[in-house]
């Protein structure tokens, strides 16, 4: 094992080698899905194609897309490609909008997932001598166990603390010498706030040096807040329950996009409205095909995540394509008074004001005919001591900045520190209370 790479041969393979490897796996997986799932057999026949029509990587465009509702409609095991007895572990996303999305793993799927997570952690500098504080939730959610399995493969000491009990988490980090923090970015900020309230200085009192943050969108400005408050280097990691969980892609220390492990996933970028494939370098919706998954393989799965793919070799020497930070989700786009708005645009504005904390909520209501667009945002401790006149000026500045970016003029509510509910899991950023919303 190279000191920089978990698997140098794979991570630095040439683009031609990767594409050749992908094509072989794509041909095999297309036939595998056709032969073993009624769902894909029907998909292929309805499109008038057979697995033998997949002769080049570009031929993947002949295969219809798979969407999240396909998994929900076939809940729980309608899309399995193996006998249920061959499934050794099951995970699932939340079912708050219907049936949950099931992730089903064979023994080999588990081995691949563990390998990908070990590779991802190693890429960010996690080593055997580290102590991982894993504050992702353990259970059906893939986060907790995904990180656990990867660290276990490396031989890293693991503290499986899961979520909640924040004061206890801080004590454990301090007493057990945690060097790596794994959790959602919103919970990292929450931990930093709790440390400040308890008089704990992360730089002096803790040994943290690396943070792995994912499971929800976050911006560069959130990264700056986390790094400044906790004194660590923060890394973005990406994954979906549908694909394997975390471990699909990860940042290296150059922080110039997340390396997609292309020996296991084939990535496309499409126009979210037309479905047309876009060239590398153009922003669009990410579409993944699982090349090595056996239990519940997916062909051309639409993630709804909006990003840009870069294929040039990274300064770190890795050749796998990089996905730039997710800018939003095509299904998270808000239509407010006929205007398309992404929550990430609002976060960008808020993070540009040092007077504001990182906690905010977008509240949408429609008491009559017109949408009421409100942004609630917390003040920092220092700013909360400002005069009402100073706060009114701050409101006007925020409103003007939002208007410049979105064309809309929202109501700005400035909330005292701690006034917006916290969560150890994913942050609830949008409250859409409109009846008959678009």
Task: Give the per-residue pLDDT at 311.
Answer: 97
Quote the CA–CA distance of 228 and 251 in Å, as a whole number: 19
Mean pLDDT of 398-402: 96
Which residues lie across from 375 on neighbouring strands?
362, 412
The confidence score (pLDDT) of residue 348 equals 86
- Tell me which of 91-105, 153-167, 351-365 is least confident: 91-105
At residue 285, the pLDDT reads 95
| Span of 63-67, 162-166, 413-417 with lowest mean pLDDT | 162-166
**Domain 1-329 is classified in which CATH homologous superfamily?**
ANL, N-terminal domain (3.40.50.12780)
Give pLDDT tens digits for 119-137: 999 999 999 999 999 999 9
Residue of 286 and 419 predicted with greater confidence = 286
- What pLDDT is recorded for position 187? 87
pLDDT at residue 226 is higher than 80: yes
- The reported pLDDT for the residue numbered 335 is 83
Q: Is residue 23 pLDDT above 90, yes or no?
A: yes
pLDDT higher for 96 or 47? 47
Of all residues in the chain, the percent with pLDDT exceeding 70 is: 96
Give 245's strand partners.
240
Q: What are 206-223's pLDDT values in tens digits? A: 999 999 999 877 888 889
- pLDDT band at residue 438 using 50, 70 and 90 as cut-offs: very low
Q: Is residue 66 predicted with pLDDT exceeding 80?
A: yes
Which of the residue ranges 18-22, 134-138, 248-252 would you say has the lowest mean pLDDT? Answer: 134-138
pTM of the model: 0.84
Give strand pairing partners of 327: none
Q: Pull the structure tokens for residue 42.
A: 């029907």
Q: What proportion of the chain, given as a percentage, has pLDDT over 90?
A: 76
Q: Residue range 154-169: average pLDDT? A: 94
DSSP-derived secondary structure for 155-187: T-EEE---S--HHHHHHHHHHHT--EEEE-HHH
Query: Of 176, 241, 251, 164, whose CA–CA distance to 207 is shortest?
Result: 176
Q: How far apart are the first and last CA of the chain?
A: 53
- Residue indicated by tokens 């990767």: 18
Mean pLDDT of the chain: 93
Domain edges within the chain: 1-329, 334-432
Q: What mean pLDDT comes out for the span 36-56?
A: 98
Are the C-beta atoms of residues 305 and 43 closer than 8 Å to each other? no
Residue with tokens 């055997």: 128
In the structure, what pLDDT confidence band is assigned to residue 436 with cuts at 50, 70 and 90?
very low
Domain 334-432 has CATH 3.30.300.30: yes
Residues 6+ apart with CB under 8 A from 239: 142, 146, 214, 245, 246, 247, 248, 249
């Amino acid at each position: 094992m190279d000191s920089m790479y978990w698997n140098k041969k794979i991570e630095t393979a040439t683009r031609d080698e990767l594409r050749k490897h992908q094509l072989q796996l794509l041909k095999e997986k297309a036939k595998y899905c056709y032969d073993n799932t009624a769902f894909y057999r029907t998909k292929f026949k309805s499109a008038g194609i057979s697995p033998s029509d997949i002769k080049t990587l570009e031929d993947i465009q002949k295969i219809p897309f798979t969407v999240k509702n396909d998994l929900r409609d076939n809940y729980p095991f309608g899309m399995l490609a193996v006998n249920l007895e061959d499934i050794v572990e099951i995970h699932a996303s939340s079912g708050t909008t219907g049936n949950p999305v099931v992730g089903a793993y064979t023994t080999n799927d588990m081995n691949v997932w563990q390998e990908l997570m070990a590779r991802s952690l190693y890429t960010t500098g996690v080593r055997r001598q580290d102590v991982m504080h894993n504050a992702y939730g353990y259970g059906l959610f893939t986060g907790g166990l995904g990180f656990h399995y990867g660290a276990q493969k490396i031989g890293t000491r693991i503290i499986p603390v899961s979520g909640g009990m924040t004061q206890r988490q801080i004590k454990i980090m301090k007493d057990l010498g945690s060097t790596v923090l794994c959790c959602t970015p919103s919970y990292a900020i929450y931990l930093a706030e709790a440390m400040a309230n308890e008089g704990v200085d992360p730089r002096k009192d803790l040994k943290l040096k690396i943070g792995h943050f994912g499971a929800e969108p976050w911006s560069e400005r959130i990264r700056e807040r986390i790094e400044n408050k906790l004194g660590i280097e923060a890394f973005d990691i990406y994954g979906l329950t549908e694909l394997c969980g975390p471990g699909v892609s990860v940042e290296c220390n150059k922080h110039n996009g997340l390396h997609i492990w292309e020996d296991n996933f084939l990535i496309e970028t499409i126009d979210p409205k037309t479905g047309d494939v876009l060239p590398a370098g153009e922003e669009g919706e990410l579409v993944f095909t699982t090349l090595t998954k056996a239990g519940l393989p997916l062909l051309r799965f639409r993630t709804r995540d909006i990003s840009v793919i870069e294929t040039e070799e990274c300064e770190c020497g890795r050749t796998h394509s990089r996905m730039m930070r997710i800018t939003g989700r095509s299904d998270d786009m808000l239509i407010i008074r006929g205007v398309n708005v992404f929550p990430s645009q609002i976060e960008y504005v808020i993070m540009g004001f040092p007077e504001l904390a990182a906690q905010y909520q977008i509240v949408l209501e429609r008491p009559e005919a017109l949408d009421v667009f409100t942004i609630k945002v917390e003040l920092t401790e220092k700013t909360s001591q400002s005069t009402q006149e100073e706060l009114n000026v701050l409101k006007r500045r925020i409103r003007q900045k939002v208007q410049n970016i979105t064309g809309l003029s929202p109501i700005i509510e400035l909330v005292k520190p701690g006034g917006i509910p916290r969560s150890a899991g994913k942050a609830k950023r949008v409250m859409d209370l409109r009846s008959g919303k678009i």
